Structure 1
Amino acid sequence: MDIVQEGDRTGILLVNTGTPDEPRPHAVRKYLARFLMDPRIVPMNRVGWWFVLHLFILPKRGRASAEKYARIWTDEGSPFTVAHGKLVRGLDAQLAEEGLDAVVRCAMSYSAPFVRDAVRELKEAGCTRLVVLPLYPQSAHSTTGSVSDGVARALRRERWNVPCDFVDNYHDDPTYVRAIAASLRHAGFDPGSDDRVLFSYHSIPLADIEAGDTYELQTGASSLQIAGELGIERNRWTIGYQCRFDKGREWLSPFTRDVLARWAEADVGRVFFVCPNFAVDCLETLYDIEHELKPFYFDQIRKAGREPREGAFTYVPCLDRSRAHVRVLADVLRTPLEGGR
């Protein structure tokens, strides 16, 4: 398939949330300040929220989160940053094999490399069209919507009037569904046993759903299709939501902790814990699952009068920098790229 037109060069921009520059309190506070002042994130009046955030939340959360980041940091730096760099190189090579004259860049909404800088690079590279792919398989006002805001702002500031395709979500892309199912099998999940799958997604405020956000529908559809690819019945899997930010608002549930507590009490088989809406492993997966959710589940089993059996809890890593992930993104991009022919 040849999708190159003479003189055409496509700029492909992958966008994710971001990560602090280093695992130190001041760097974490700087990152969180950008993140939590996003208009799509702010839970109250912006002026009042600024004072609450900077006087009460960031001093405490900056220290606590820095300690967590330090536990997952590597010699190469942030594992989140490293994975994105390798993912970009893999996708660039894959698209070149398919005969596309494309320039692939990655940007973050709240940390370097920033969206405006990446947009400027693509403009200077002579791109004649732009395809934006937020790395959120399931779209939400607070994630994909924020990326849309940031790209539109960057294009205005760079005065770049270029045709732009925006991939809103890829929650039901067949290659994505197969890749998540394959990752579960690779982790040891046995469809013929009593193994259970917990699909854990980032929670969002219920107010967003009431405002028209279709995130909940997409998480349900993704889970159903992945379970179908595995060939398991409905009683073998369920959905939980993690990472709610505050208790002042109602959040999409059931919460992952409550599901784990219920399963511990019921003495289900081995639990395979997967996060289909995290494209790349981050603090919420690398730290929270291993150091908080897994110990919580084992504690609940002990409270029920049993000892955790071997392999009782297995975390299934994100697609991350894998070849399978490159294939997923290339497949997701194929429709907008062919649309530019």
Structure 2
Amino acid sequence: MANYIGITKEQGHAARGKTGVLLVNLGTPDEPTTPALRRYLAEFLSDPRVIEVPRLIWKAILHGIILRTRPAKSAEAYREVWTEAGSPLMDISVRQKAKLQTLLSDSGSEVSVHLAMRYGNPSVASVMQDMQRQGIDKIVVLPLYPQYAAPTTGSVFDAIALELMKWRYVPSLHFIHTYHDTCEYIDALAASIQRDFDANGKPQKLVLSYHGMPEDYLKKGDPYYCFCMKTSRLVAQKLGLADDDHMTTFQSRFGKAVWLQPYTDETMKSLPAKGVKDVAVVCPAFSADCLETLEEIAGENREYFEESGGETFRYIPCLNDDDQHISMMASLIKAYL
């Protein structure tokens, strides 16, 4: 066999044969400032998976209106949740990555864990290029969205495919597209809720608030709504809750389109008038606390509930880097190792 001069050890096939895990979450701005939010929102809201509006029309709206007004307001909201460690989502995601690496290594798996953000930094493309340079040719991708949705999980696949189109040697790829009804996820979620009940008592109503999406996406075939409802049903069964003890709502809508209902904010405003004065809220669609859980739910929706006559509102944190959550991730990944 010819010995080609100029081929480095790193370029040789013998340097490959490594396995990597790629965790992907939504993303976060680099800092809570208007310019940083403008960059972040421009990338996020330009994704055709997120906004299904004809491109020319949406581009005019996005750059002519939204990116002129929304960044300043969003920056103010981010400043309310920003910590010394930076963005809560990034801080938690880094801890998740580290704990998962330790757990997999301790169990004997020779695998490296990597973290990327669909929007912002570190980008999917840059992290995958790092993995390529390290000789990784088997990749297990875990988008950190429990319930599949085209604007989230589907968009992660798009970003990965776009990067792989540039590679001459395409790696073995395993893409975990949903885990909304796995026993490990349901057990971890139910356990976190039960710990809150044990510490604070069972509320009149447990509200499971998921990120919303336009109702039209469901009509076009997106399974997200059905997956959310199944998660709620399985968690309620695990906790032994009656139908009147819990409800499912959807948050974070914007624009004039009809989104999945019931809306979380309108629910918080209406519950006290129905005699429900004590609620606990959990956000099963989020694997890590972020702006949508800390500012929108624990902040804004708490105020809606209390201003409408509610007496006790408590937010149950996301699973974050809880040991049972990390074990769940490892269980999902090991099936592909």
TM-score above 0.5, yes or no = yes
Q: TM-score, normalised by structure 2?
A: 0.91
Aligned to 1:90: 99
Instruction: From 256, 275, 279, give the equivalent of 1:267.
Output: 275
Q: Deviations over 1:241-271 (max 9, x none)?
A: 0011211x22111111232233211122521
Query: 1:288 corresponds to which letter in structure 2?
Result: E
Give, in whole Å, the separation in 2 of the partners of 1:192 and 1:63: 40
Aligned partners of 2:35 and 2:71 also within 8 Å: yes
RMSD: 1.7
Aligned match for 2:204, one of 187, 191, 195: 195
Q: CA deviation at 1:24?
A: 0.3
Residue of structure 2 in register with 1:234 after alignment: 243
Q: Percent identity?
A: 36
Structure 2 residue 23 is the aligned partner of structure 1 residue 10 = no
Q: Residue 334 of structure 2 corresponds to which residue in structure 1?
A: 334
Per the normalisation by structure 1, the TM-score is: 0.90
Report the counterpart of residue 314 of structure 1 in structure 2: 314
Secondary structure in 1 aligned to 2:27? coil
Q: Does 1:127 align with 2:160?
A: no
Equivalent position of 1:258 in the other structure: 266
Whole-Å Cα distance in 2 between the matches of residues 298 and 160 of structure 1? 57
- Of residues 208, 224, 227, the one that matches 2:233 is 224
2:299 equivalent to 1:294: no
> SS in structure 2 opposite 1:142?
helix
Which residue in the other structure is 2:42 paired with? Answer: 33
Cα distance in 2 for residues equivalent to 1:149 and 1:167: 14
How far the C-alpha of 1:331 sits from its partner, in A, is: 1.6
Structure 1: gaps spanning 5 or more residues: 1-6, 302-307
Q: Which runs of 5+ in 2 are unaligned?
A: 1-15
Structure 1 runs of 4+ aligned residues shifted over 6 Å read none
Query: Once the 2 structures are TM-superposed, how far is the Cα of residue 193 of structure 1 from its aligned partner?
Result: 4.8
CA contact (8 A) 1:11 1:131 kept: yes
Letter in 2 for 1:318: C
| 1:139 maps to 2:148 | yes
| Partner Cα separation in structure 2 for residue 229 and residue 160 of structure 1 | 45
What secondary structure is seen at the aligned counterpart in 2 of 1:157?
coil
Contact map agreement 1:191 1:231 (CA 8 A) in 2: no
**Partner letter of residue 33 of structure 2?**
R
Q: Secondary structure at the match of 1:320?
A: coil
Contact 2:203 2:279 in 1 (8 A): no
